[in-house]
Chains A and B, each alone.
Chain A
Amino acid sequence: MVIKNTNKICIIIPAYNEAKVIKDVILSLKKVFRRSSIKYTIVVINDGSTDNTSSVAKSTGAIVINHLLNMGPGRATATGLYYAKKYGYSTAATIDGDGQHSPRDLIKGIKILQKEKIDLLIGNRLKKANDMSLNKRFGNLILSYFTYLVFGVKITDSQSGLRIYSKKAIDNLKWHSSGYEFCSEMLWRAKQENLMISDYPIKAIYTSYSKQKGQNNWNAINIIKSIIKHRLVEIFG
């Protein structure tokens, strides 16, 4: 029998080789959420890591789902949302496993989502982008512009990993991409499903670790190629 988790938030952390920081990420989430009245479950999607991400995450008491193979962040996020749907969560959220998102921003977003009846809320790192390198800011803006150009979805930070999903979004969102291009494709699918999309400013925490782990601008070219491919397949395929 599947236990329903209505009125509970499913916090999904897709993680690939994040053993160094995953414990801190989970513990800081727990610390901040404990002070709030929000009921939550932390679900780590270990995307076929070759280090001990899985055991470190398990030691914190989080639910850990192990991908047998490394499938990419798009599939890891999809597994997380599938889990949230299966167990009847009313709200879900995804944050990066490298610790670049603040749990306080997450709580703020959950409150906005519930208050304003938004289906998909994106944390916008570019409004408070003081710590973000010019390179990264440029790459993110280009990708957001491309997302708007190809998919017609206007979001300032289309590649942000901090996303909050309503029940409607959990139940209806599906995408095909497995790589980082899923961020843009998800927005497009949300638009197709008539989901209400919005964003809110968040602060990204850049440590030397998260700077190493993040995408570089060369990967943006791959993402642009994939975005165009998905759009063409949708029309011609």
Chain B
Amino acid sequence: MSRYLLLILFNTPFALLGLLGSLTQFKMKRISLVKFLFHLFFWFFIIFSLIMAEPVYKSLYSSGLTQTESLSLFDVIQITAIIILLYGINRARIKLASLENKVNEIHQIISIKTSK
């Protein structure tokens, strides 16, 4: 099996999950239309980049613009790991921001109640 195909198979599910997440958030009115359109663009760009990786490499190689080796299996794993990490970091950041908001609200309520 082509390693470029592996790259697509490993990573496309994450992009699709991201797309689905953005769509759900938009439909539940948690994000604005502008933010949703940006997410849509971002995830389609990722999918497009994954699909175009092989043709772009071949075209660059044939025109002498790159002399690097074709994608190895290790490269595929490494790229997948980076994408998973980025996905995880973003999820953690969103959860942290949401927790911070909740802590702030709790602090406000407690401060007002205890000051009575």
Contacts and interface: CB of A to CB of B under 8 A. Distances in A.
A233 B39 CA distance: 12
Given A68-B107, A176-B101, A178-B104, A86 B112 contact: yes
A66 B110 CA distance: 9
Contact of B115 (A64, A86, A237): A64
Given A79-B108, A237-B94, A66 B38 contact: no
Nearest to A82: B108
B109 to A, nearest CB: 8
Contacts of A178: 104
A203 interface: no
B104 A71 contact: yes
B111 interface: yes
Q: At the interface, is chain A mostly helix, strand, loop or mixed?
A: mixed
A71 B110 CA distance: 13
Contact of B38 (A65, A68, A176, A235): A235
A178 to B, nearest CB: 7
Interface in B1-58: 32, 34-35, 38, 42
Interface of B: 32, 34-35, 38, 42, 93-94, 97, 101, 104, 107-108, 110-112, 114-115
